[in-house]
Amino acid sequence: MAKIAKVEVKRDICIGATPCVVAAPAAMELDAENKAVYKLKDGVRSSGPVDRAQLEDPSVDDDTLLIAAQSCPVKAIFLYDETGKQVYPEA
Ligand code: SF4
């Protein structure tokens, strides 16, 4: 799989089901609206799309980000490579 460069939670799809947070607790959490957000540097929280380089914990690897996306029951998590191409969910 191509390297993940950008990550996004589609807030209109997310139902706050949390398996993504369980799969990648260093990278994700739920916000006050029960939508998943990425944990970014300087305490910023955003559903994105954001550059994965902005993640607070640089040790979060591509496998973890992918497993989190795959764990989402409603496929609300989108992953993109450095060219902007969507790599998950596969089109
Ligand atoms: S697993 Fe999907 S629906 Fe659940 S909180 Fe994460 S992004 Fe939202």
pLDDT at 3 over 80: yes
Atom of ligand 1 nearest to the CA of 36: 5
In what helix (H) or strand (E) does residue 45 lie, and over which residues does it extend?
strand 45-46
Pocket of ligand 1 (CB under 6 A): 9, 14-20, 36, 71-72, 74, 76-77
Task: State both tokens at 52.
Answer: 């994965």
pLDDT digits (tens, 9 = 90+) for 27-68: 999 999 999 999 999 999 999 999 999 999 999 999 999 999
Give, for ligand 1, the residue of 8, 74, 78 to mutate: max count of ligand atoms closer than 8 Å to Cβ: 74
- CATH 3.30.2270.10 describes domain 6-88: no
% of the chain beyond a pLDDT of 70: 99
Residue 2 banded pLDDT, cuts 50, 70, 90: confident
Task: State both tokens at 20.
Answer: 């993504």
Residue 1 banded pLDDT, cuts 50, 70, 90: low
How many A from CA of 19 to the centre of ligand 1?
6
